[in-house]
Structure 1
Amino acid sequence: MPRLRELHRPLVWFSAAMVLTALISAGGLLFDDRVLVGAPIWYKPFKFAVSFVAYCMTLAWMISLLPRARRAAWWAGTVVAVASAAEMVLIVGQVIRGRQSHFNNETAFDAAVFQAMGITIVFLWLAALMIAVLLLRARILDRATAWSVRLGSLIALAGAAIGFLMVRPTPEQLASGDDAGIVGAHSVGVPDGGPSMAVTGWSSTGGDLRVAHFFGMHALQAIPLLLLVLVALAPRFASLRDERVRLRLTLGASGTYAAVFVLLTWQALRGQALLDPDGTTLAAAGTLALLAAVGTGAALRTPSRTAPSRADQDVAA
């Protein structure tokens, strides 16, 4: 693990600013009783700030793993930091104005703000794609670590791309034509701002694309964290001392994570609430669980004994 001063500085500075933004937003949740689209008005900047801290600090760590192309990665990370900062300025600015930030076309200014947010997200996504490509081409430590950061970044890109599905007009908005002040929605089959789950704010009566968006983007943290757990457990479990076993478990977990992400997207697009799946969704989830269990069992089978690798000797020591 690199020291903090060795990480990508613009991403670290932006993350520090987001910690402050989260604290300010928490104060807004306590002292500002305004409600927007069925939720406390400061809830959105709070969620975004916390998410950006996790996302950007993980990205800064991944950039530090690159043995080459550091300059290209530095510029890509800087674009992510600048685009994310612009996004947060626009979100907080709309909160201060008491206006909806996403999907809002009610006035020319609101439409311009939402269009600017769309541009920043495109730049952010393309910069993250460049980092993912650099990770795919680089030789990073052991193979398990390399594939955990590669696959985590690719799934996170797919999760971020869910946001592009949200800007499509709903059938109701298409029917209203030019009179639609709000174009796009998080929810599918029900209007935004209806009954929702506690804490997350996800719709409890219809599909919600934010579920897959959240799950996919945080593959960036979840898959490398899984590998860190496997490495930590290696001294206590003999099978995990073999790098090949850890690699197989990482690949299997990544495949399962990607499959669950697809399932959550499919469920939302069919207008189903996360906690109210139909029989088809439950059958698909059960099949995934069975395949994941079988794959995990197969991955844990210790390969035929050969001379231990240097990595295995280090772990055992």
Structure 2
Amino acid sequence: MRTIDRVGYVVGFLLFLSGLGHLVVLLVSGGTWLGPLSMRKPMTFGLSFGLTVGAAVWATSFLKTRFRGLLLSVFSVASIVEVGLITMQAWRGRPSHFNFETGFDSAISMTLAGGGLVIILVTIGFTVAAFRTVQTRSMQLALRFGFVALLVALAVGAVMIATGIIAVRSGNAELAYTTAGALKPAHAVPMHAILIMPGLAWLLGKSPWPEPTQYLLVKIAAIGYGVLIVGTVLFYAIP
């Protein structure tokens, strides 16, 4: 295992541990699970980013690209910044997104938006590499589907941020959180395909079934997952 892999897994583990810690805080304190000030936010972002970073490290180990180390480093740093700032704002009792009440809060909100853009650009790099990488047909399909689905999730996240900022700038902060919150399922469902689909292909690779059968099963799973993603996006994204 290369150093970048070890570091990536440690980062993913620590982010996931942070999410679990905030889950404990929620349960022990009896705090609210709703609203932009809830400890639910650092919990969900910690768990989600922890899983995503770990999945990215593992999934990209199958890719053929000379820039993997650089892309993973940027991805990990951006994830740390995102979770760190969201966590800090939660403990300050301040909204992390769409908050432009002070200069400091504005800087945090814009940094989070910029970090999201960086993660999108890195994921585009991984997706291009996935389409240039030669693997077994089943693993190729799983990797390509997973990274494209991750891009869909990030695109929905970008729409959430953009619509929220527009609503806040127009003087309707409550609408910003309501609109962005409504898109959470469309953001969450495709997010973890990068772990599920390559994981399925890897498990099938350990089975006695021939490669054509493995490819067929991965293809069926991809179609089903794709239908779920499209249905979720259409249901939650279209008024």
User: Which residue matches 2:46?
Assistant: 49
Judging by fraction of residues, say which structure has more helix: 2
Partner letter of residue 185 of structure 1?
Y
| Residue equivalent to 1:143 | 137
CA RMSD across the alignment: 2.7
The 1:249–1:24 alpha-carbon spacing in structure 2 relative to 1, beyond 3 Å, is: closer
2:109 to 114, 117, 123: 114
C-alpha separation in 2, matches of 1:115 and 1:182: 19
- Helix, strand or coil at the partner of 1:100: coil
Moved more, 105-114 or 50-59: 105-114
Instruction: Verify: 1:158 aligned to 2:132, yes or no.
Output: no
Q: Give the percent of matched residue pairs that are identical in Structure 1 and Structure 2.
A: 26
Checking the alignment, whether the CA contact within 8 Å between 1:212 and 1:265 is kept in structure 2 is yes
Instruction: Choose the corresponding residue for 2:56, options 56, 59, 78.
Output: 59
- Counterpart amino acid of residue 171 in structure 2: D
- How far did residue 161 of structure 1 move? 1.0
Mapping for residues 296-315 of structure 1, pairs under 5 Å: none
Asked if 1 retains the 8 angstrom alpha-carbon contact of 2:4 and 2:69, the reply is no
Q: Cα–Cα, structure 1 residues 99 and 265, in superposed 2: closer, same or farther, change >3 Å?
A: same
CA distance in 1 between counterparts of 2:17 and 2:200 reads 29
Q: Give the counterpart letter for 1:19 in structure 2.
A: F
Structure ranking higher on relative contact order (CA contacts 8 Å, 6+ apart): 2
Could you tell me which runs of 5 or more consecutive residues in structure 1 were left unpaired when the two chains were aligned: 193-207, 236-240, 272-317
Aligned to 1:89: 84
Q: TM-score, normalised by structure 1?
A: 0.67
Aligned length: 238
Q: Please report how far the alpha carbon of residue 76 of structure 1 lies from its aligned counterpart in structure 2 after TM superposition.
A: 0.4
Aligned match of 1:16: 13
Q: Please tell me whether residue 80 in structure 1 is matched to residue 80 in structure 2.
A: no
**Is 2:128 aligned against 1:133?**
yes
Cα distance between partner residues in 2 of 1:123 and 1:56: 14
Judge conservation of contact 1:168–1:183 (CA < 8 Å) in 2: no
DSSP 3-state at the match of 2:110: helix
Q: Which amino acid aligns with 1:144?
A: S
| Structure 2 residue 237 is the aligned partner of structure 1 residue 246 | no
SS at match of 1:184: helix
Larger radius of gyration: 1
| Counterpart for residue 216 of structure 1 | 190
Out of 170, 175, 185, the residue aligned to residue 177 of structure 2 is: 185
